[in-house]
Structure 1
Amino acid sequence: MSKADYPYPEDEFDAISPDAPTGVHRAPRSAWSRWWPFVVVLVVVPVLAYGAVAYLSRTGDLPLSGGSSQGQGEEVGPTEDPVVEDGTGEEPGTEGEAPEAEPTTEAPQPVLSTPVAVLNGARVSGLAGRVADELEAAGFTAVSPDNATGTVPAQSTIYIASEDLRPTADLVASTVGVDTIEVSPQQAGAGISLVLVTDPDA
Protein backbone atom coordinates (compact mmCIF):
# COMPACT_ATOMS: atom_id res chain seq x y z
CA MET A 1 0.00 0.00 0.00
CA SER A 2 1.40 3.38 -0.98
CA LYS A 3 1.09 6.55 1.09
CA ALA A 4 -1.43 7.94 -1.41
CA ASP A 5 -3.78 5.05 -0.85
CA TYR A 6 -3.68 5.39 3.00
CA PRO A 7 -7.40 6.20 3.90
CA TYR A 8 -6.83 7.64 7.41
CA PRO A 9 -5.76 11.18 8.34
CA GLU A 10 -2.29 11.71 9.87
CA ASP A 11 -2.04 12.03 13.67
CA GLU A 12 0.84 12.53 16.17
CA PHE A 13 2.01 8.98 15.69
CA ASP A 14 2.62 9.59 12.02
CA ALA A 15 4.92 12.54 12.71
CA ILE A 16 8.56 11.56 12.21
CA SER A 17 11.20 12.99 14.55
CA PRO A 18 14.11 14.61 12.76
CA ASP A 19 16.54 12.65 15.05
CA ALA A 20 15.01 9.26 14.35
CA PRO A 21 16.56 7.00 11.71
CA THR A 22 14.61 6.69 8.56
CA GLY A 23 13.99 3.30 7.02
CA VAL A 24 14.83 -0.15 8.35
CA HIS A 25 18.60 -0.10 7.43
CA ARG A 26 21.37 0.48 10.06
CA ALA A 27 24.17 2.96 9.65
CA PRO A 28 27.25 1.50 7.89
CA ARG A 29 29.99 0.02 10.21
CA SER A 30 33.57 1.31 10.26
CA ALA A 31 36.46 -0.77 8.86
CA TRP A 32 38.07 -1.17 12.34
CA SER A 33 34.90 -2.69 13.80
CA ARG A 34 35.00 -5.34 11.08
CA TRP A 35 38.70 -6.26 11.35
CA TRP A 36 39.55 -6.07 15.05
CA PRO A 37 38.43 -9.69 15.88
CA PHE A 38 40.85 -11.04 13.25
CA VAL A 39 43.65 -8.86 14.61
CA VAL A 40 43.04 -10.29 18.07
CA VAL A 41 43.19 -13.86 16.76
CA LEU A 42 46.38 -13.24 14.75
CA VAL A 43 48.25 -11.45 17.55
CA VAL A 44 46.95 -12.67 20.91
CA VAL A 45 46.70 -16.42 20.12
CA PRO A 46 50.40 -16.80 18.98
CA VAL A 47 51.56 -14.85 22.02
CA LEU A 48 49.60 -17.16 24.34
CA ALA A 49 50.91 -20.27 22.54
CA TYR A 50 54.51 -19.08 22.79
CA GLY A 51 54.09 -18.38 26.49
CA ALA A 52 52.64 -21.85 27.10
CA VAL A 53 55.50 -23.58 25.24
CA ALA A 54 58.12 -21.57 27.14
CA TYR A 55 56.52 -22.42 30.48
CA LEU A 56 56.25 -26.15 29.73
CA SER A 57 59.84 -26.32 28.50
CA ARG A 58 61.07 -24.84 31.80
CA THR A 59 59.06 -27.27 33.90
CA GLY A 60 60.05 -30.31 31.82
CA ASP A 61 56.47 -31.28 31.04
CA LEU A 62 56.72 -30.52 27.33
CA PRO A 63 55.43 -33.61 25.45
CA LEU A 64 57.79 -35.10 22.87
CA SER A 65 56.89 -36.45 19.44
CA GLY A 66 56.76 -39.99 20.80
CA GLY A 67 54.02 -39.05 23.26
CA SER A 68 56.15 -39.04 26.40
CA SER A 69 57.26 -36.05 28.46
CA GLN A 70 60.78 -34.69 28.48
CA GLY A 71 62.99 -36.47 30.97
CA GLN A 72 61.11 -39.76 30.47
CA GLY A 73 62.44 -40.59 27.00
CA GLU A 74 65.87 -41.63 28.13
CA GLU A 75 66.38 -45.36 28.06
CA VAL A 76 67.76 -46.91 31.17
CA GLY A 77 70.26 -49.65 30.35
CA PRO A 78 70.27 -52.94 32.22
CA THR A 79 72.16 -52.79 35.44
CA GLU A 80 74.65 -55.49 36.21
CA ASP A 81 74.88 -57.04 39.61
CA PRO A 82 78.06 -55.96 41.35
CA VAL A 83 80.69 -58.63 41.75
CA VAL A 84 81.32 -59.28 45.40
CA GLU A 85 84.84 -60.44 46.13
CA ASP A 86 85.32 -62.73 49.08
CA GLY A 87 89.07 -62.20 49.36
CA THR A 88 89.97 -65.61 47.92
CA GLY A 89 90.76 -64.29 44.45
CA GLU A 90 88.20 -66.63 42.89
CA GLU A 91 85.17 -65.50 40.96
CA PRO A 92 81.76 -66.33 42.43
CA GLY A 93 80.34 -69.57 41.15
CA THR A 94 83.70 -71.33 40.80
CA GLU A 95 83.62 -72.93 44.24
CA GLY A 96 83.71 -76.68 44.11
CA GLU A 97 84.65 -76.85 40.43
CA ALA A 98 87.42 -79.31 39.74
CA PRO A 99 90.44 -77.96 37.83
CA GLU A 100 90.66 -79.03 34.24
CA ALA A 101 92.85 -82.05 33.75
CA GLU A 102 95.91 -81.50 31.60
CA PRO A 103 95.91 -83.50 28.38
CA THR A 104 98.02 -86.61 28.74
CA THR A 105 100.64 -87.37 26.13
CA GLU A 106 101.11 -90.95 25.07
CA ALA A 107 104.46 -92.52 25.86
CA PRO A 108 106.71 -93.05 22.81
CA GLN A 109 106.34 -96.53 21.38
CA PRO A 110 109.25 -98.70 20.22
CA VAL A 111 109.90 -98.77 16.50
CA LEU A 112 110.33 -102.41 15.54
CA SER A 113 111.75 -101.55 12.11
CA THR A 114 114.82 -99.92 13.68
CA PRO A 115 118.05 -101.67 12.55
CA VAL A 116 119.51 -103.72 15.42
CA ALA A 117 123.04 -105.16 15.14
CA VAL A 118 123.75 -108.06 17.54
CA LEU A 119 127.55 -108.37 17.99
CA ASN A 120 129.10 -111.40 19.65
CA GLY A 121 132.08 -110.35 21.81
CA ALA A 122 131.76 -113.21 24.29
CA ARG A 123 133.52 -115.83 22.14
CA VAL A 124 130.45 -118.06 22.59
CA SER A 125 129.62 -119.88 19.38
CA GLY A 126 126.22 -119.03 17.92
CA LEU A 127 125.41 -116.46 20.63
CA ALA A 128 124.70 -113.55 18.22
CA GLY A 129 122.44 -115.72 16.03
CA ARG A 130 120.43 -117.03 19.01
CA VAL A 131 119.88 -113.54 20.48
CA ALA A 132 118.93 -112.23 17.02
CA ASP A 133 116.26 -114.95 16.81
CA GLU A 134 114.84 -113.80 20.17
CA LEU A 135 114.57 -110.22 18.91
CA GLU A 136 112.86 -111.32 15.70
CA ALA A 137 110.41 -113.36 17.74
CA ALA A 138 109.63 -110.17 19.71
CA GLY A 139 108.70 -108.40 16.44
CA PHE A 140 111.90 -106.71 15.30
CA THR A 141 112.25 -106.82 11.51
CA ALA A 142 115.80 -105.54 10.84
CA VAL A 143 118.09 -107.67 13.06
CA SER A 144 121.59 -108.62 11.86
CA PRO A 145 123.93 -110.94 13.90
CA ASP A 146 127.73 -110.54 13.60
CA ASN A 147 130.98 -110.83 15.55
CA ALA A 148 132.26 -107.85 17.57
CA THR A 149 135.56 -106.28 16.46
CA GLY A 150 137.90 -103.94 18.28
CA THR A 151 137.55 -103.08 21.93
CA VAL A 152 134.51 -104.46 23.68
CA PRO A 153 132.87 -102.96 26.83
CA ALA A 154 133.33 -104.49 30.28
CA GLN A 155 129.71 -105.70 30.29
CA SER A 156 127.04 -106.34 27.67
CA THR A 157 125.80 -102.92 26.47
CA ILE A 158 123.12 -101.59 24.14
CA TYR A 159 124.26 -98.53 22.18
CA ILE A 160 121.74 -96.13 20.61
CA ALA A 161 122.38 -93.38 18.07
CA SER A 162 120.06 -90.84 19.76
CA GLU A 163 117.84 -90.47 22.80
CA ASP A 164 114.63 -90.88 20.78
CA LEU A 165 115.61 -94.55 20.25
CA ARG A 166 115.46 -95.27 24.00
CA PRO A 167 111.90 -96.79 23.94
CA THR A 168 113.10 -99.25 21.28
CA ALA A 169 116.32 -99.96 23.22
CA ASP A 170 114.26 -100.63 26.36
CA LEU A 171 112.34 -103.32 24.47
CA VAL A 172 115.63 -104.84 23.27
CA ALA A 173 116.95 -104.81 26.83
CA SER A 174 113.88 -106.52 28.29
CA THR A 175 113.86 -109.10 25.51
CA VAL A 176 117.47 -110.25 25.77
CA GLY A 177 118.13 -109.45 29.45
CA VAL A 178 120.71 -106.64 29.06
CA ASP A 179 120.26 -103.63 31.36
CA THR A 180 122.95 -101.14 30.23
CA ILE A 181 121.95 -98.60 27.59
CA GLU A 182 124.26 -95.81 26.35
CA VAL A 183 123.92 -93.08 23.74
CA SER A 184 126.84 -93.41 21.33
CA PRO A 185 126.32 -92.67 17.65
CA GLN A 186 129.82 -94.00 16.87
CA GLN A 187 129.07 -97.40 18.42
CA ALA A 188 125.40 -97.57 17.43
CA GLY A 189 125.77 -96.72 13.77
CA ALA A 190 122.41 -96.04 12.04
CA GLY A 191 120.26 -97.53 14.81
CA ILE A 192 120.94 -99.82 17.76
CA SER A 193 123.99 -101.96 18.44
CA LEU A 194 123.95 -104.75 21.04
CA VAL A 195 127.43 -105.85 22.11
CA LEU A 196 127.44 -109.12 24.07
CA VAL A 197 130.41 -109.92 26.27
CA THR A 198 128.60 -112.70 28.17
CA ASP A 199 125.71 -115.00 27.43
CA PRO A 200 122.56 -113.36 28.89
CA ASP A 201 120.92 -116.74 29.34
CA ALA A 202 123.86 -118.29 31.17
Structure 2
Amino acid sequence: MSKADYPYPEDEFDAISPDAPTGVHRAPRSTWSKWWPFLVVLVVVPALAWGVVTFLSRTGNLPGDASQPQGGTSGEVQEPPADDPATDGAEDPATDGAEEQPTPAPEETVEAPQPVLTTPVRVLNGARVAGLAAEVAGQLETAGFTDVTPDNATGSLPAQSTVFIASEDLRATADLVASTVNVPTIVVDAQRAGTGVSVVLVTDPRG
Protein backbone atom coordinates (compact mmCIF):
# COMPACT_ATOMS: atom_id res chain seq x y z
CA MET A 1 0.00 0.00 0.00
CA SER A 2 1.43 3.40 -1.01
CA LYS A 3 1.24 6.52 1.00
CA ALA A 4 -1.19 7.97 -1.52
CA ASP A 5 -3.62 5.13 -0.93
CA TYR A 6 -3.48 5.50 2.90
CA PRO A 7 -7.02 6.72 3.85
CA TYR A 8 -6.27 8.01 7.33
CA PRO A 9 -4.81 11.40 8.27
CA GLU A 10 -1.24 11.56 9.60
CA ASP A 11 -0.71 11.89 13.33
CA GLU A 12 2.29 12.11 15.67
CA PHE A 13 3.06 8.42 15.23
CA ASP A 14 3.52 8.93 11.53
CA ALA A 15 6.23 11.51 12.07
CA ILE A 16 9.69 10.08 11.41
CA SER A 17 12.60 11.17 13.56
CA PRO A 18 15.51 12.44 11.57
CA ASP A 19 17.82 10.22 13.77
CA ALA A 20 15.87 7.02 13.27
CA PRO A 21 16.82 4.58 10.56
CA THR A 22 14.57 4.50 7.65
CA GLY A 23 13.52 1.10 6.36
CA VAL A 24 14.70 -2.37 7.43
CA HIS A 25 18.50 -2.66 7.15
CA ARG A 26 21.63 -3.81 9.02
CA ALA A 27 24.77 -1.94 9.76
CA PRO A 28 27.54 -2.69 7.29
CA ARG A 29 29.88 -5.59 8.42
CA SER A 30 33.59 -4.98 8.90
CA THR A 31 36.22 -6.87 6.89
CA TRP A 32 37.53 -8.70 10.01
CA SER A 33 34.08 -10.08 10.82
CA LYS A 34 33.90 -11.53 7.33
CA TRP A 35 37.31 -13.29 7.34
CA TRP A 36 37.86 -14.46 10.90
CA PRO A 37 35.94 -17.79 10.49
CA PHE A 38 38.18 -18.71 7.57
CA LEU A 39 41.28 -17.79 9.55
CA VAL A 40 40.14 -20.02 12.40
CA VAL A 41 39.70 -22.95 10.02
CA LEU A 42 43.10 -22.34 8.41
CA VAL A 43 44.94 -22.15 11.76
CA VAL A 44 43.07 -24.40 14.20
CA VAL A 45 42.45 -27.39 11.92
CA PRO A 46 46.14 -27.82 10.88
CA ALA A 47 47.19 -27.40 14.52
CA LEU A 48 44.78 -30.13 15.63
CA ALA A 49 45.95 -32.42 12.83
CA TRP A 50 49.60 -31.87 13.79
CA GLY A 51 48.82 -32.65 17.43
CA VAL A 52 47.02 -35.88 16.54
CA VAL A 53 49.84 -37.05 14.28
CA THR A 54 52.43 -36.26 16.94
CA PHE A 55 50.51 -38.20 19.61
CA LEU A 56 50.03 -41.25 17.40
CA SER A 57 53.68 -41.28 16.38
CA ARG A 58 54.75 -41.28 20.04
CA THR A 59 52.45 -44.15 20.97
CA GLY A 60 53.41 -46.19 17.92
CA ASN A 61 49.86 -46.41 16.65
CA LEU A 62 50.37 -44.26 13.62
CA PRO A 63 48.26 -45.75 10.78
CA GLY A 64 50.26 -47.11 7.87
CA ASP A 65 53.56 -47.25 9.82
CA ALA A 66 55.38 -50.19 8.20
CA SER A 67 58.09 -50.22 10.87
CA GLN A 68 55.64 -51.51 13.49
CA PRO A 69 54.68 -55.22 13.51
CA GLN A 70 51.03 -55.91 13.01
CA GLY A 71 49.01 -56.89 16.03
CA GLY A 72 51.11 -55.02 18.63
CA THR A 73 53.60 -52.27 19.41
CA SER A 74 57.37 -52.50 19.18
CA GLY A 75 58.92 -54.48 22.01
CA GLU A 76 55.98 -56.84 22.30
CA VAL A 77 56.77 -60.51 21.76
CA GLN A 78 54.07 -62.17 19.75
CA GLU A 79 53.18 -65.48 21.35
CA PRO A 80 51.83 -68.20 19.08
CA PRO A 81 48.22 -69.12 19.78
CA ALA A 82 47.58 -72.11 21.97
CA ASP A 83 46.08 -74.07 19.08
CA ASP A 84 48.77 -73.07 16.56
CA PRO A 85 48.96 -75.98 14.09
CA ALA A 86 52.68 -75.32 13.74
CA THR A 87 53.18 -76.44 17.32
CA ASP A 88 50.52 -79.15 17.45
CA GLY A 89 51.95 -82.64 17.46
CA ALA A 90 55.52 -81.44 18.05
CA GLU A 91 57.46 -84.09 19.89
CA ASP A 92 59.61 -83.36 22.86
CA PRO A 93 63.23 -83.60 21.65
CA ALA A 94 64.17 -85.30 24.89
CA THR A 95 61.76 -88.16 24.14
CA ASP A 96 61.89 -88.08 20.33
CA GLY A 97 62.36 -91.63 19.11
CA ALA A 98 62.74 -93.05 22.61
CA GLU A 99 60.10 -95.31 24.03
CA GLU A 100 59.26 -95.01 27.67
CA GLN A 101 60.97 -97.82 29.49
CA PRO A 102 59.00 -99.60 32.20
CA THR A 103 60.26 -99.04 35.70
CA PRO A 104 61.83 -102.26 36.93
CA ALA A 105 60.28 -103.72 40.03
CA PRO A 106 62.50 -103.39 43.09
CA GLU A 107 64.37 -106.57 43.85
CA GLU A 108 63.42 -108.27 47.03
CA THR A 109 66.27 -108.42 49.48
CA VAL A 110 66.76 -111.94 50.77
CA GLU A 111 68.50 -112.00 54.09
CA ALA A 112 71.13 -114.65 54.54
CA PRO A 113 70.34 -117.28 57.18
CA GLN A 114 71.84 -116.49 60.55
CA PRO A 115 73.30 -119.05 62.97
CA VAL A 116 71.06 -120.00 65.88
CA LEU A 117 73.24 -119.94 69.00
CA THR A 118 70.63 -121.78 71.08
CA THR A 119 70.94 -124.90 68.90
CA PRO A 120 72.09 -127.94 70.94
CA VAL A 121 75.72 -128.84 70.09
CA ARG A 122 77.49 -132.04 71.18
CA VAL A 123 81.28 -132.31 71.08
CA LEU A 124 82.36 -135.99 70.94
CA ASN A 125 85.97 -136.92 71.61
CA GLY A 126 87.07 -139.84 69.43
CA ALA A 127 90.72 -138.80 69.26
CA ARG A 128 91.57 -140.31 72.66
CA VAL A 129 93.05 -136.97 73.77
CA ALA A 130 92.21 -136.26 77.38
CA GLY A 131 90.07 -133.18 77.92
CA LEU A 132 89.78 -132.47 74.19
CA ALA A 133 85.97 -132.43 74.09
CA ALA A 134 85.71 -130.12 77.09
CA GLU A 135 88.24 -127.66 75.67
CA VAL A 136 86.53 -127.53 72.25
CA ALA A 137 83.16 -127.10 73.97
CA GLY A 138 84.61 -124.12 75.81
CA GLN A 139 85.60 -122.53 72.48
CA LEU A 140 82.00 -122.84 71.26
CA GLU A 141 80.65 -121.29 74.45
CA THR A 142 83.06 -118.40 74.01
CA ALA A 143 81.68 -117.95 70.48
CA GLY A 144 78.16 -117.51 71.95
CA PHE A 145 76.61 -120.96 71.89
CA THR A 146 74.46 -121.55 74.96
CA ASP A 147 73.75 -125.32 74.81
CA VAL A 148 77.07 -127.19 74.38
CA THR A 149 77.71 -130.70 75.76
CA PRO A 150 81.17 -132.43 75.74
CA ASP A 151 81.30 -136.26 75.69
CA ASN A 152 83.23 -139.24 74.38
CA ALA A 153 82.48 -140.68 70.95
CA THR A 154 81.08 -144.21 70.71
CA GLY A 155 80.46 -146.54 67.82
CA SER A 156 82.03 -146.14 64.43
CA LEU A 157 84.02 -142.99 63.73
CA PRO A 158 84.30 -141.00 60.49
CA ALA A 159 87.57 -140.98 58.58
CA GLN A 160 88.17 -137.37 59.63
CA SER A 161 86.77 -134.94 62.14
CA THR A 162 83.29 -133.95 60.98
CA VAL A 163 80.42 -131.61 61.90
CA PHE A 164 77.09 -133.44 61.50
CA ILE A 165 73.79 -131.57 61.14
CA ALA A 166 70.23 -132.91 61.15
CA SER A 167 69.09 -130.84 58.10
CA GLU A 168 70.13 -128.06 55.74
CA ASP A 169 68.22 -125.59 57.89
CA LEU A 170 71.15 -125.80 60.31
CA ARG A 171 73.77 -124.99 57.65
CA ALA A 172 74.44 -121.46 58.92
CA THR A 173 74.82 -122.73 62.49
CA ALA A 174 77.10 -125.56 61.35
CA ASP A 175 79.30 -123.11 59.43
CA LEU A 176 79.92 -121.11 62.60
CA VAL A 177 80.63 -124.28 64.58
CA ALA A 178 83.07 -125.56 61.94
CA SER A 179 84.96 -122.28 61.74
CA THR A 180 85.16 -122.01 65.52
CA VAL A 181 86.59 -125.49 66.16
CA ASN A 182 88.63 -125.69 62.93
CA VAL A 183 86.71 -128.63 61.46
CA PRO A 184 85.79 -127.73 57.85
CA THR A 185 83.84 -130.90 56.93
CA ILE A 186 80.06 -130.65 57.29
CA VAL A 187 77.72 -133.57 56.60
CA VAL A 188 73.92 -133.81 56.77
CA ASP A 189 73.17 -136.93 58.85
CA ALA A 190 70.21 -136.84 61.17
CA GLN A 191 71.15 -140.10 62.87
CA ARG A 192 74.59 -138.84 63.92
CA ALA A 193 73.53 -135.23 64.48
CA GLY A 194 70.57 -136.01 66.74
CA THR A 195 68.38 -132.96 67.36
CA GLY A 196 70.98 -130.36 66.50
CA VAL A 197 74.70 -130.36 65.69
CA SER A 198 77.32 -132.98 66.59
CA VAL A 199 81.08 -132.49 66.32
CA VAL A 200 82.96 -135.80 66.12
CA LEU A 201 86.68 -135.34 66.65
CA VAL A 202 89.02 -138.10 65.46
CA THR A 203 92.11 -135.88 65.62
CA ASP A 204 93.08 -132.89 67.68
CA PRO A 205 91.89 -129.81 65.71
CA ARG A 206 94.25 -127.62 67.66
CA GLY A 207 97.05 -128.90 65.47
> What is the aligned-residue identity percentage?
67
* Separation (CA, whole Å) in 2 of partners of 1:192 and 1:182: 10
In structure 1, the partner of 2:99 is 92
| Separation (CA, whole Å) in 2 of partners of 1:163 and 1:93 | 45
Secondary structure at the counterpart of residue 199 of structure 1: coil
Deviations 1:90-117 (A, max 9, x none): x9322xx663341110000000000000
Matched, 1:138 2:143: yes
- Matched AA of 2:193: A
TM-score by length of 2: 0.52
Residues 87-126 of structure 1 correspond to what in structure 2 (within 5 A)?
A: 92-94=99-101, 99-126=104-131
Corresponding residue to 1:189 among 168, 175, 194: 194
Instruction: Please say if 1:153 is aligned against 2:158.
Output: yes
Alignment RMSD: 2.4
Aligned mates of 2:168, 2:100 — CA distance in 1: 47
SS in 2 for 1:100: coil
Give unpaired runs (5+ residues) of structure 2.
Answer: 1-97
Give the match for residue 43 of structure 1: none
Q: Within the alignment, does 1:166 sit opposite 2:184 as a pair?
A: no
Tell me the TM-score normalized by structure 1.
0.53
Letter in 2 for 1:191: G
Read off the aligned partner of 1:190 and give its amino acid letter. Answer: T
C-alpha distance in 2 between matches for 1:143 and 1:196: 15
How far apart are the structure 2 equivalents of 1:152 and 1:98? 57
* Structure 1 unaligned blocks of 5 or more: 1-90
Distance in 1, Cα, partners of 2:201 & 2:106: 45
Deviations for 1:132-175, whole angstroms, at most 9, x for unmatched residues?
00000000000000000011101000000011000000000010
Amino acid at match of 2:156: T
2: distance between equivalents of 1:92 and 1:120?
68
AA at the equivalent of 1:179: P
Q: Does 1:178 align with 2:186?
A: no
